[in-house]
Structure 1
Amino acid sequence: MIDYEVYVDRLGEFVVGNPGRVVALFFVLTLVFGAGLGNISTDAGTSQFTEDSPAQEALDDVNREFTPAFETSSGSTQLIQRDENVLSKPAMLDMLRLQERILDRPDLRATSASGVASTVAQTLDPSATTLDEQIDALESASPSEVRAATKRATANPQVASLLSDDFNRKSVTASSTIGVVSHEVPGLSSSAGTSGTSPLSGIQEEIQSMTSVADSDIRVFGRGIISSELGNVIADSLLLVVPAAVLLIFGFLVIAYRDPIDLFLGVISLGLAVIWTFGFMGLADIAFSQMLIAVPPLLLAVGIDFGLHAVNRYREERVKDVAPVPSMRTTVKQLSVAFFIVTGTTVLGFLANVTSDLAPIRDFGLVAAVGILFTFLIFGVFLPAAKLYADQLRAQYNVPEFGSTPLGNEGGLLARVLSVGVVIGRKAPRAFLVVILLTTVVAGAYGTGVDTTFSQEDFLPPEEQPAYLQDLPEPFKPGVYTVTKDLNYLEDNFETTQGDSVTIYVEGEMRRDHALEDMYRAGESPPDSFVTEDRRADSQNIITVIQNYAAQDPEFAALVDRNDANGNGVPDDNLETIYDELLASPVSGQASSYITDDYRKTRIVYTVEADASQDEIVADGKVVADELRMGATATGSTVVFKDISDTIFMSAIESLVVALAATALFLVLIYQVLEGKWTLGVVNLVPIVVSLALLAGSMRYLGIPLNALTATILSIAIGLGIDYSAHVVHRFADEYNGTNLDEALRLTVGGTGGALTGSMLTTTTGLGVLAIAITPVLGQFGVVTALSIFYSYLTALVVTPPTIVVWERLTDQNPAASEPAAT
């Protein structure tokens, strides 16, 4: 135990001796950090999570190896057409005319267009290679000719796959189809995820504006639209959540402070904490992402708690007729230590996230930890100085005080309600703790079954937004979001959704005779999640390029036939010669997208079922990869997202373990140093473990998974939970004189419990308002964070007092003190 009071006294004297200077210093620092606000950038979407992922690295290898050097990046726009019958002549002309208008616009960088309508037109007139010629072919054909050509064209399974599942080949009808427009756009990322700044965003938004002239209902869908909505949803969520949180928090603060000057100082302090933290982000060049939307509410949670404790503790002294300066000196002396303990454990809880393999989670942990340090300085130094300075000015100018009674005042209704934990501690502490232990074990065991997910849908608005959002006035009314609705429509109405695939990246000597046969056999009897065609997996690879070119060129077909030992269309000998011929042919560009120039690397792209789960797709992809004799790796967007999902789970567990271990060590050391009683650190940790188990169980019961944002909640729950229990334990240590345990506990919950109640009500409401955020991941985070704070508050006031009673008896602090107090 060291004499820490010397340092605390110095801090107290500095604050009460120079309140005006302290206030001025903090406003100067605010100007410094405020300069960084202009440097803040945004980073939305899922691509930020895929960096450093092994699966993404494999996908990058595929893109690098099979994309020709200096080639402009390609992207595509899907045109989802819905009509009574999209195979009717007018509907197909609608699609072709829209595609033609798109290709006629140089600014849209369109290079080609395809779809069922284009195939039907070429069936009518094989020489119709341009859209204009295809439109002429359809216009000049009779309805019966169009119908017959459509029957022939849709006999091809690849063409039929562009039609909805209700396609009837006999009646030649379908309710929807997908047309595709290809673009060449520089700067497109090869990441499996999407960002909020895709070069395709503006192009696809412009195309959407062009669909209004079509008679059919045509929706534009693609990576650009997804990226655009991912970026817009951040601004809309902030514009919706922040005002709602401010109104609710302000309302509770009015009730808690009950004095306009104190309320003003508390709000100013909260504003400084947010400005400092965001300014730090700008100065440190940390982009603002969806995850960092949660930082301001977290700062508000801790800041409100600190502010209410500081003002409430000061009021406790003032109602005893103690002068302002000594009252504030006592407040700083007592609360600076409690704030230090809370800050230390909260920072450790957030910093535990820097162990994550995901950069956004690391940034979140760092920014939140720095923000909590700023909050400690502002509410531990600035607010007391500002409060004292304001009271001195109030006295000087005879400004009246309003509500100055501390929350949870002795004898009040709130104090009696808060004393339930003290009553339990007096009556049956051991039996109660046995029940709590069993509850913790059961809830924790149940919570281990919580799901883990990662997908771009987590970051997108739901298909149906609540009606009240559309009734909001501008600018709070959110924009129109269609991506989730279109994604669900594609999945529900098409056998395969464009882009659903698994890529097998193969590395080995492709000149060996068995190389292509080995790849061919891998497609036999495919797993359930793979799309099948004639009992083979639907795939694109160097074999399909060989077979397609052989169907076009008789000389090349003869070469393949001479080297095909078993007659299955797959060459077994002289593979190098076949590759050489292929790469020197008109389809060399297509061939080079599936095999490298040194013939040592290739890729196989398997189409997967739209309704297959992420786990099924990845597991089946790995099975097929393992069956190949050469080295093979399964990759693709689905595999990358599954890899991120697994990383999220491991990050959650690792950060939980790190946070618990670091917090336990910190608490044991700090209570040994400050009070000479290291076991109080264990007491401090008990309610946190209980609240963690309750939180995990609640997440599983409510169906809230561990995703990119909620994965941080376990370590956050430790950081915020310590906030409540540390105040109770430290206040008890101050009040307990070794003789009357019951009286010390009553004073603790009556004084500290009142401020904790105000803090809990304010922050659970302020954070719970995230539930109305447009993005599902933010709404889930708001719910679990509010639950975390409520459980932390409940366990701090109900579980901590009985734990202290048992601690006092086990450590034999004062045997007489543990006897029930006379009533």
Structure 2
Amino acid sequence: MSDAGLDLEPTLNTINSIILGHPLAVVAAFLAVTVLLSGGVGMIETVEDQSDAFSENIAAQEALDAVNEEFGGSFSGDDESTQLLQSGDNVLSRQSLLRSLAVIEQTNERAELRLTDATGPATIIAQQLDPSADSYDAQRRAISRASDTEIRNAVRQSADRPGFQSLVGNDFNRRSASAGASLTVLTHSFPPQDDNLQEVQLGVKDIVERSDGDIRVFGLGITNSETANVIGDSLGIVMPAVLGLILLFLIVAYRDPFDLILGLVALLLSLLWTFGFIGYAGIPFDQNMISVPILLLAVGIDFGIHIVNRYREEKGRGFDVREAMTITNSQLAVAFLIVTVTTVFGFGANLTSNFAPTRNFAIVASVGIIFTFLIFSFFLPAAKIIADRNRKRFNIPSFGSSPLATEESVLGRALPAVATVSKRAPMTFILLFLVVSGGAAAYGAGVDRSFEQEDFLPPEELPDYIEGLPDPFAPSEYTAAGSINFIEDNFDAGNDDEITMYIQGPFTNGDSLETVYRTTRDPPDTYLTTGDRAETTSIITIINDYADRDPEFAALVARNDRNNNGVPDSNLEQIYDALEASPAADRADEYLTEDRRSIRVEFAVESDASQGEITADSREYAEDFRYAATPTGTIVVFQAVTDLIFQSAFQSLFLAIGLTGVFLVGVYWLLDRKPLLGVVNVFPILVTVAVLLATMRILGLSLNAVTATILSITVGVGVAYSVHMTHRFIDEYTAGASTDKSLKITLQGTGGALVGSMLTTSIGTGALVLAISPILGQFGLLMAVSVFYSFVTAIVVFPSAAYVWARYDQGGSLRGWLSEQTNSTPQFAGQDD
């Protein structure tokens, strides 16, 4: 008896007695839990700034934070500032300057906007015209009363004032006193514990929208607001589309209004339970979470179709309601449990991720799958019994009671044909699948990887089909991506083609600047050079620039420059003191800390060099500096995050495959004493993952903050298809049917159900391409492709693996069996072995 495997019949009988003996009580209990968990739905909070969560605890990000904190500058990212971005033919004209001042003045008049300071071309030029113009009203009068010539002269004179040129676009022309873009920084004050920057910036945006001229508002509050809006807008667009498509296919799959309603109610309960859990657990809802309801619908649809389809098979054999459901539950309970555990392994493997949003996704998706299993294993069968008994009681006719794929249907004839082909040379097909998947994996390993802040923002221009949506589906207005592009296109400070080297000194020693200057000779190939030196901006640049304009300061530098190369190598404290007392003090603060122990050096890099190449060169180059140097900046931080994303993706994938494989081998040994069935079960999903990776590279899709989870998710969702095939096959096989007969029944019955599941799931998840955020669209496309591949490999790859396994299980010689099959007419379609 020890070889018979674990006897689950007593446990299954107990479960069936609960479900089938007390269906009303089961339904009532599940509805009560639904009411309880629904209370958590209103407690869900959306994440605003999600990108920061991916760069936590990264050395380059910590260095960048130190740079932003220790050095000044208009682009330092002050959380309490708002930026007014102005564009036009000449933003330094009288009319444009007055428009900018009008926004500042109106902002100042509204106390709730807490304006404490405003710095921009308009304020600087006004004070150049009238040094006593301290109020914004006085500044507006100064510009209004000045002649055009006076304004042009004031612009030219202001160009020498600290920080002015960083506030005008790269096209600033001193001679014509013109520029096509400008930036004004508004600073706000907030009392302790007051966090209403978003409300303040939206208030400034309201003022701008009612003013004339091309001015836009940008800041952390605006970005956070739009990040939150894109979640709601995406759900508002995607979910109706998903539900509509799912409803359409479920109508085809169920072909019965009562079964359709029961299936939809079960799906709704799964979503309510999961969203309630999110609220009660205090897990933030971010863009990663948008895919959770789609995935739950995918698994729920799979469970629902299998239950109804299998129930109809048993009803077709003449069993009554309770007998048919008893057989259905007994045969599907184990398969559902296996699917649930393997799916949790696939989703839960993301708990090893370095990123909190991905770990949160893993928790919610795993819990949601468990909820879905409970609802479809207990609630749906109980509700189905109640419905069918009442249907019989009130003599309500059946509308569609046949399984999806019967022996007489086109589907029922087409699906078993796959096994006919596989039987001819199963080992040859296995080797072919191994070669294809190996090649696909090798090619797919070169898939692109990326991380960009814009990944979490809606695109600057929304597709026409989204722009044209009527209320209540019409999306919010999105400006953050456009503002980021505007800054990058018009201001040097927004240029990503540079690396910041954060160097910790001290820098008061006589030769400290000289050593930095010497190290800029012969930089890496990805760095821009002038002659043999890297193109840099640093405190040395500020010293040289001011020496060119001030003869007295130039003489001071020359007296302390022993080798006459323009870099002082003695009395640095005296030079710094003179610089701090000069008009160049503000610029010096951007490159030298107050304690004079750290500097930052900005290196221009090749715009066509890859992010990875620049980062690798920068890390190696940092070792050449005398003092501790840390490369940072957008390029380095994003590359560090990108590397972690790639590492986490494959770490989760291998963990998911490992746990799933070990579990399946153990389960099939425990249940049937046939552990190799676990390998047969995993093989199709390995092929799926390999081909999916290759497809990503072919389509030019990258592993990013959202799509990085697709590999382990594919294992979790895709393995369900091969689990259902394997479990049905072994049920028939151990009951005495031949290999041919077992595969025929499996492909017709379970294969037919998988067709319906695949169509609804792939179309449903594919609807994510309608999401406003492109990154979610990519995830939806990949999910649809992975589900389709999982179905194909379960139907095509599994039969070959099953034939090879069956030969080993029957104890014969594989070589002799293959020879026998080659020299004989294959038996499948109409006869058994």
TM-score of the aligned structures, taking structure 2 as reference length: 0.88
- Residues 46 and 148 from structure 1, CA distance in 2 versus in 1: closer, same or farther, beyond 3 angstroms? same
Return the match for 2:781 from 780, 783, 805.
783
Letter paired with 1:86: V
Is 2:504 aligned against 1:507? yes
Q: Deviations over 1:598-617 (max 9, x none)?
A: 66555456677888764465
Of the structure 1 ranges 703-712 and 461-470, higher mean CA displacement relative to structure 2 is found in: 461-470
> Is residue 2:701 matched to residue 1:690?
no
Q: Does 1:294 align with 2:291?
A: yes
Q: Write the distance in 2 (CA, Å) between the matches of 1:767 and 1:752.
A: 22
Please tell me whether the aligned partners of residues 502 and 600 of structure 2 are also in contact (alpha carbons under 8 angstroms): yes
Further displaced range: 280-289 or 153-162 = 153-162
Query: Which residue of 2 is the match for residue 757 of structure 1?
Result: 755
| The one of 742, 745, 751 aligned to 2:743 | 745
* Greater mean deviation of Cα atoms: 692-701 or 803-812: 803-812
Q: How do residues 101-180 of structure 1 correspond to structure 2 at under 5 angstroms?
A: 101-121=106-126, 131-132=136-137, 134-150=139-155, 159=164, 162-164=167-169, 173-174=178-179, 176-180=180-184
Structure 1 distance, partners of 2:211, 2:624, is 49
| Contact 2:162–2:583 (8 Å) recurs in 1 | no
Aligned: 1:43 with 2:47:
yes
| CA shift for structure 1 position 584 | 11
Cα distance in 2 for residues equivalent to 1:548 and 1:633: 26
> How has the CA–CA distance of structure 1 residues 666 and 741 changed in structure 2, closer, same or farther, with 3 Å as cutoff?
same
Cα gap change, 1:507/1:148 in structure 2, threshold over 3 Å: closer, same or farther?
closer
Counterpart position of 1:807: 805
- Which residue of 1 is the match for residue 380 of structure 2? 383
2:233 pairs with one of 233, 236, 239: 236
| Equivalent residue number for residue 725 of structure 2 | 728
Change in CA separation of 1:501 and 1:159 when aligned onto 2, cut-off 3 Å: farther
Q: Deviations for 1:533-558, whole angstroms, at most 9, x for unmatched residues? A: 998745355x6787899999999998
After superposition, the CA RMSD in angstroms is 3.7
Of 638, 648, 652, which aligns to 1:651? 648
Equivalent AA in structure 2 for residue 780 of structure 1: Q
Paired positions, count: 812
Query: CA shift at 1:167, angstroms?
Result: 5.3
Distance 1:421 1:165 in 2: 65
Contact kept in structure 2, 1:526 and 1:537, CA below 8 Å: no
Distance 1:135 1:500 in 2: 37
Moved more, 151-160 or 628-637: 151-160
Counterparts of residues 70-109 of structure 1 (less than 5 Å): 75-109=80-114
Q: Distance in 2 between matches of 1:453 and 1:789?
A: 24
Tell me by how many angstroms 1:264 deviates.
Answer: 1.4
How far 1:49 moved relative to its partner? 2.0
Name the residue aligned to 2:477: 480
Q: CA offset at residue 432 of structure 1?
A: 3.0
Which digits, 9 at most, give the CA deviation of each residue in 1:739-796, with x for residues without a partner?
A: 5211111100100011111111111111111100001111111110111101001110
Asked if structure 2 preserves the Cα contact closer than 8 Å seen for 1:608 and 1:617, the reply is yes
* SS of 1:704 mapped into structure 2: coil
User: Is the CA contact (8 Å cut-off) linking 1:415 and 1:750 kept in structure 2?
Assistant: yes
Which residue does 2:198 correspond to in 1? 201
Is contact 2:218–2:480 with CA below 8 Å preserved after alignment? yes
The match for 2:624 is: 627
Give CA deviations for 1:689-736 in whole Å, capped at 9, x if unaligned: 111111111111112110111100000000111110100011000011
CA displacement 1:594-636 (0-9 Å, x = unmatched):
6667665554566778887644654465355333211121234
Question: What residue identity is the alignment partner of 2:700?
Answer: G
Q: Return the match for 2:256 from 237, 255, 259.
A: 259
Unaligned runs of 5+ in 1: 190-196
Which residue is equivalent to 2:700?
703
**CA displacement at 1:329 relative to structure 2:** 1.0
Is the contact made by 2:605 and 2:614 (CA closer than 8 Å) also made in structure 1?
Answer: yes
Name the CA distance, whole Å, in 2 between partners of 1:496 and 1:328. Answer: 68
Counterpart for residue 192 of structure 1: none
CA distance in structure 2 between the aligned counterparts of 1:147 and 1:592, rounded to whole angstroms: 29
Q: Write the letter of the residue equivalent to 1:401.
A: S
Distance 1:160 1:60, change over 3 A: closer
Q: Distance in 1 between matches of 2:788 and 2:127?
A: 66
User: What displacement does 1:274 show?
Assistant: 1.2
Any idea what SS the aligned residue of 2:40 has? Answer: helix
**Preserved CA contact (<8 Å) 2:710 2:783:** yes
Distance in 2 separating the partners of 1:694 and 1:367: 28
Q: Amino acid of the residue matched to residue 778 of structure 1? A: L
The aligned amino acid for 2:375 is I
1:60-71 matches, within 5 Å, as: 60-62=65-67
User: Aligned equivalents of 1:771 and 1:587: distance in 2?
Assistant: 51
Cα distance in 1 for partners of 2:491, 2:587 equals 27
- Give the deviation of 1:351 after TM superposition: 1.1
Is the 1:727–1:752 Cα contact (8 Å) retained in structure 2?
Answer: yes
CA separation of 1:60/1:471 partners in 2, compared to 1, >3 Å: closer, same or farther?
closer
Q: How far apart are residue 228 of structure 1 and its match?
A: 1.6
Match of 2:16 in 1: 12
3-state SS of paired residue (2:39): helix
Bigger mean CA deviation after superposition, 15-24 or 634-643: 634-643
Query: Partner residue of 1:411?
Result: 408
> CA separation in 2, counterparts of 1:171 and 1:259?
76
The answer to whether the aligner puts 1:281 opposite 2:278 as a matched pair is yes
Task: Pick which of 674-683 and 579-588 moved more.
Answer: 579-588
Work out whether residues 95 and 179 of structure 1, in 8 Å CA contact, stay in contact via their aligned partners in 2. Answer: no
Q: Measure the CA separation in 1 of the matches of 2:780 and 2:368.
A: 18
Aligned to 1:821: 827
1:421–1:800 Cα contact (<8 Å) kept: no
Q: Please give the secondary structure, in 2, of the residue aligned with 1:633.
A: strand
8 A Cα contact 2:534 2:604, kept in partner = no
SS state of the match for residue 402, structure 2?
A: coil
Match among 793, 796, 803 for residue 795 of structure 1: 793
Matched to 1:334, the amino acid is: Q
Does the aligned pair in 1 maintain the 2:198–2:222 contact within 8 Å?
yes
Query: What residue number does 1:194 align with?
Result: none
Post-superposition shift, 1:654? 0.4
Instruction: Tell me whether 130-139 or 279-288 shows the greater mean CA deviation.
Output: 130-139
Which amino acid is 2:792 matched to? L
1:120 Cα shift? 4.7
Gap change, CA 1:200 and 1:502, over 3 Å in 2: farther
Partners of 1:801 and 1:135 in 2: how far apart? 81
SS of the aligned residue for 2:637 comes to: helix
Query: 2:57 corresponds to which letter in structure 1?
Result: D
Work out the CA distance in 1 between the residues paired with 2:191 and 2:530: 36
Q: Distance in 2 between matches of 1:509 and 1:782?
A: 52
Are 1:355 and 1:651, in contact at CA under 8 Å, matched by a contact in 2? yes
Q: Does 1:55 align with 2:52?
A: no
Give how far 1:320 is off.
1.1
- Structure 2 residue 461 is matched with structure 1 residue 461: no
- Report the CA distance shift for 1:604/1:76 in structure 2 as closer, same or farther (over 3 A): farther
Query: What letter matches 2:754 in structure 1?
Result: L
Alpha-carbon distance between aligned partners in 1 of 2:827 and 2:160, rounded to the nearest angstrom: 89
**Change over 3 Å in CA distance of 1:814–1:378 after alignment to 2:** farther
More displaced 10-residue stretch of structure 1: 576-585 or 245-254: 576-585
**Residue of 513, 517, 528 corresponding to 2:514:** 517
Question: Percent identity among equivalent residues?
Answer: 48
Whether the 8 Å CA contact 1:430–1:806 is kept in 2: the answer is: yes
CA distance in 2, matches of 1:257, 1:487: 49
